[in-house]
Amino acid sequence: AEAARRPAMTRGAGGGASRSTRPAAATALDERMMRLALRLASRGDGRTHPNPSVGAVVYRGDRILGRGTTRPVGGSHAEVVAIAAARRRHGEAALRGASIAVTLEPCSFVGRTGACTQAILDAGLGRVVGGCRDPHERVSGRGFARLRRAGLTVVSGVLEDECRHQHRGFRSVCERGRPHVTLKLATTLDGRIATATGESRWITGEAARAFVHRLRDASDAVLVGSGTALADDPALTVRRGDRVVRTPIRVLLDGRLRVPASARLFAPPEECMGEERAGGPPENRTWIVCAAGRRGLAAARRRAARVIEAPSSRNGHVDLVAVFERLAEAGLTTVLVEGGGSLAAALLRADLVDEVHWMLAPKLIGGDGRAALGPLERTRLADAVSIEPIRVRRLGQDLHVHGRVRRPIERAASTRRTSRKRSRREGA
């Protein structure tokens, strides 16, 4: 943690900055406030891109003065929202010397909004409890450093793993140049997503389907391929019961522009549910990704909010690595993929899947059903896609398996560690 690497700055008796010989340490109260900040951060998931959804809590002792969640792009960051709430409810004096817990290192530069470090200093806060370092090249430790130089006590790395997970999309864009990709699969126990005739509604029960809608709600975008769009005609809205509550950006991967304008992906949410629309038309939130230079681009631009052209790979399909780089450039940080077996396998082969949610229904269809995954081209068991840590739970009558996809370099490192341990044991 940052606090362990640098000595804390504390205010001396005269109010000036003095350097402590011991690093600042987090307390149980700090961790409790950080957990609250994480809950606040999750409320903005899918709504703040390209910015991360951050949570912040201003507190003095165990008294909460203000709470904040990052506003949609162009709006205030979480620290500013929390400070404003504390000032409004308790007055300026209550802020002096108080603490703030924030899930991501405060930004230290002026962009669409002012620097959060300056807002913290202007408020007179005395202590900053940080979750994880901001990976953005213009911050990356500079926010914490500026606050320390100003004499504030900074404790960083509090619930760091949880905070890194909360900001996994933003981190992925900063560090890898692409969004965090989550693959959702809903299958029978024998790994089938439909019968031989294509019937798939519904393999899983209501509880599992409701959970998928929560996944959509927390994502910047939901992506399907043209095969799924043609076979299932999904709306990809977020529903509670029969009511549409939100439409994330819907990304259609349609390399050859085969999906017709009549598809529900291109309809506004109200039309998807067969309801009367009042007022003007809702915002078009459907993007098309296609191969560069395809015929029909003009028509595609008329029915989609955005058309993204990507190069083709050697096999003639759209280059998936380039696709996700383009999506990051367009501002997306998290993408939920709900495609069929071919797209899922292609993403896994390209090492583009970061997280998997697999819903398993207690049903069997048999080998003539449609498989959840196409060929992965793994000839050795050691090369199998490894998913961990695994969480398994029941959702109604179905099973939910959730895990993180281990990168090939991680698997290799794990194998080397195991080999070294075995060598030491054998040598002993």
- Catalytic residue list: 79
Q: Which residues pair with 57 in a beta bridge?
A: 67, 101
Q: What whole-number distance in Å separates Cα of residue 123 and Cα of residue 84?
A: 9
Q: What whole-number distance in Å separates Cα of residue 27 and Cα of residue 3?
A: 13
DSSP output for 319-341: -HHHHHHHHHHTT--EEEE---H
Q: Are 254 and 368 in contact (CB under 8 A)?
A: no
| DSSP 8-state code for residue 312 | B
**Which structure tokens are listed for 87?**
């000032």
SS3 (DSSP) at 38:
helix
Q: Which residues pair with 58 in a beta bridge?
A: 66, 100
Report the b/e string of 328-351 with b at 16+ CB within 10 A: bebebbbbbbbbbbbbbbbbbbee
Cβ-proximal residues to 108 (8 Å cutoff; 6+ apart), any chain: 115, 116, 117, 138, 139, 142, 143, 146
Closest CA to 247 of 225, 224, 217: 217
Q: Are 75 and 96 in contact (CB under 8 A)?
A: no
Q: What whole-number distance in Å separates Cα of residue 308 and Cα of residue 188?
A: 34
